[in-house]
Amino acid sequence: MRTSSTSSRLLAATALVAALGLTVTACGGSSDNGSGGDKNDPASLKGQTITYWASNQGTSLDNDKQVLTPELNKFTQQTGIKVKLEVIGWADLLNRILAATTSGQGPDVLNIGNTWSASLQATGALMPWDATAFTAIGGKDRFASAAIASAGAAGKDPAAVPLYSMAYGLYYNKKMFSDAGLTPPKTWDELVTDGKKLTKDGHYGLAVEGSNGSENIHHAFVLAKQRGSSWFDDSGKATFDTPANVAAVKQYVDFIASDKIAAKGDAEYSQNQTITDFATGKAAMMMWQSAATSIKAHGMTADQYGVVPVPTQTAGATGDAGITSMVAGINLAVFQNTKHKAAAEALVKFMTSTPEQKVLNGTYGSLPPVKEAQSDAAFQTPDLKTLAGVLGSSAAPLPQVPNESQFETLVGTAVKDLFADAAAGKPVTDDSVKAALTKAQQQMPAS
């Protein structure tokens, strides 16, 4: 026994030495990032290679590569800067960013979901876009203000620049509506009444993505906003279980629970089955963001459906009560640790230039956050015009607080479990909703 304890101490010592050795090299490794000012000289940008992490916007990662490569080639021609492109699926993107943030070794330029902006901003991993940086890409005023508001916490320099914008709209099946003699609903009451009429023979009025946490909170956010309620107070503290928020979540879950205008099966949807149901005529309505490309991929043509703003509690509501969508979209950020800051900024400038905005948003079916590009013919289709209207007047940014990801996880999962209750025939009451939200709130960090 004595020998084994000696050697276990030896083992521990070895491990410790190894660990210390690594820590020391860690200090040495991270010190070589300021590599001279001449890199900012435009002439010397030539020949630099930067890495760009793009998110999945198209029908596949490969499709994204095909869309982006010719554009990036244009950039290389113009500036002499080479771009190493990597398209990363949504399942991996946040983890990769996180790992990059922790280690300081990452891409130079990257796409982020705009709801992550404040969280990533708090980590200090992203370069803040101050006035000077914005001037270099043509000024903050080029961008829609709602998009800028979704690029970081209020009162701080944005952590990213808007790249693609999206908004929620109510998509409806024209034929099913005209067959039933209906017009698109403007209030929730109308939506439920219409939904009930459309729900028959295996068809449903509405499809919802019940097991998708992000979708759940996007809708819970809007429904709460329409009641003048927020999920965080001004100090950033969680206020999940206020009566208005409980009512908002209950209203959403009730589409399955008591209104029964959405199929019970929707409770387990998490892989965009909503779009499938809508495009195949199983559901007459859905609330989705910029769905044109996906709907088309499912074989439904643009003339078969219409898009109107998501309903409000009372017709013609304005202000918070008139909010019908969160500001959805993708932002473009520069990694704080980049050794090619000027080249990275040049790429951002290129990607947000008016011509590129037209090409990229046109291809992806999203809306350009750059105002100048919005007038392009590509964005004048009826559905995109509706969504642009929503984005311009009735969309609000999701809470830009560092703990947004906890909010998304905890509340998203709570709503998912409530949907599961509803689908299993268990009653969903004010009390059960409040209990679920209180529990979520208690698990939020204090700050």
Partner 1 sequence: MTATAPPRRAPEAGPDSGKSAAGRRLRPRAVERLRRIGLPYLLLLPALLAELLIHIVPMFFGIVISFKNLTLFYIHNWKSAPWSAFDNYKAAVKIHQPIGEALLHSFWVTLAYTLLSVGFSWLLGTAAAILMQDTFRGRAIMRAIFLVPYALPAYAALITWTFMFQQDTGLVNHVLHDQLHVTSNKPFWLIGDNSFWAMVIVSVWKSWPFAFLALMAGLQNIPRELYEAAAMDGAGVWQQIRKITMPSLRPVNQVLVLVLFLWTFNDFNTPYVMFGQSAPHQADLISIHIYQSSFITWNFGSGSAMSVLLLLFLLLVTAIYLALTSRKRGDADA
Partner 2 sequence: MPRIPSQPSPMAQPKSFTWTRRVVLTLLLLFVLTPVYVMLSSSLKNLQDVQGSFQWIPHGLTFRPYLDIWKTVPLAHYFMNSLIVSVSATLFSVAVAIFAAYAVSRYRFAGRKVFTVTVLSTQMFPGILFLLPLYLIFVNIGNSTGVTLNGSRLGLIITYLTFSLPFSIWMLVGYFDSIPRDLDEAAKVDGCGPFGALFRVVVPAAIPGIVAVCVYAFMTAWGEVLFASVMTNSDTRTLAVGLREYATQNDVYWNQVMAASLVVSVPVVAGFLLLQRYLVAGLTAGAVK
How far apart, in whole angstroms, are the C-alpha atoms of residue 6 and residue 13?
11
> According to CB under 8 A, which residues from 266 to 305 bind partner 1?
267-268, 270
- Helix 213-225 vs helix 243-257: angle between axes, to the nearest 10 degrees? 120
**Nearest 5°: CA angle at 219, between 214 and 223?**
150
Among partner 1, partner 2, none, what binds residue 186 when CB lies within 5 to 8 Å by partner kind? none
List the one residue from 105, 375, 380, 443 that touches partner 2 (CB under 8 A).
105
How far apart, in whole angstroms, are the C-alpha atoms of residue 377 and residue 362?
9
Stretch that binds partner 2, among 97-105, 152-160, 204-212, 410-418 (CB under 8 A): 97-105
Residues 6+ apart with CB under 8 A from 424: none
Among partner 1, partner 2, none, what binds residue 56 when CB lies within 5 to 8 Å by partner kind? partner 2
List the one residue from 343, 395, 421, 433 that touches partner 1 (CB under 8 A).
421
List the one residue from 14, 40, 49, 60 that touches partner 2 (CB under 8 A).
60
The one-letter amino acid code at 66 reads Q
How far apart, in whole angstroms, are the C-alpha atoms of residue 410 and residue 392?
30
The strand pair at 109-113 and 49-55 is best described as parallel
69 lies in the site for partner 1, by CB under 8 A: no
Cα–Cα distances in Å, from 334 out to 132, 349, 384, 386, 409?
14, 11, 29, 32, 26
H-helix or E-strand spanning residue 401: none
102 lies in the site for partner 2, by CB under 8 A: yes
Residue 159 structure tokens: 């952590």
Which residue lies nearer to partner 1 by CB, 365 or 412?
Answer: 412
Among partner 1, partner 2, none, what binds residue 13 when CB lies within 5 to 8 Å by partner kind? none
Stretch that binds partner 2, among 134-142, 164-172, 273-281, 395-403 (CB under 8 A): 273-281
| Least Cβ distance, residue 24 to partner 2 (angstroms) | 9
> According to CB under 8 A, which residues from 67 to 96 bind partner 2?
86-92, 95-96
406 lies in the site for partner 1, by CB under 8 A: yes
How many positions of this chain bind partner 1 (CB under 8 A)? 48
Stretch that binds partner 2, among 55-63, 109-117, 180-188, 432-440 (CB under 8 A): 55-63
Among partner 1, partner 2, none, what binds residue 275 when CB lies within 5 to 8 Å by partner kind? partner 2
**Nearest 5°: CA angle at 409, between 172 and 105?**
110
The set of long-range contacts for 130-138, using a CB threshold of 8 Å and a minimum separation of 24, is 130/157, 133/345, 136/345, 136/349, 137/161, 137/345, 137/348, 137/349, 137/352, 138/349, 138/352, 138/353
Site track 298-327 with partner 2 (rule: CB under 8 A), x = hit = xx----------------------------
How far apart, in whole angstroms, are the C-alpha atoms of residue 168 and residue 4?
65
Among partner 2, partner 1, none, what binds residue 29 when CB lies within 5 to 8 Å by partner kind? partner 2
200 lies in the site for partner 1, by CB under 8 A: no
Within its chain, how far is the Cα of 114 from the centroid? 5
Burial bucket for residue 438 (CB in 10 Å: 0-12, 13-18, 19+): middle
61 lies in the site for partner 1, by CB under 8 A: no
> According to CB under 8 A, which residues from 156 to 215 bind partner 2?
none
Residues that bind partner 2 (CB under 8 A): 3-4, 6-8, 10-11, 22, 25-26, 28-30, 56-62, 86-92, 95-96, 99, 102-105, 271-273, 275-276, 280, 293-294, 297-299
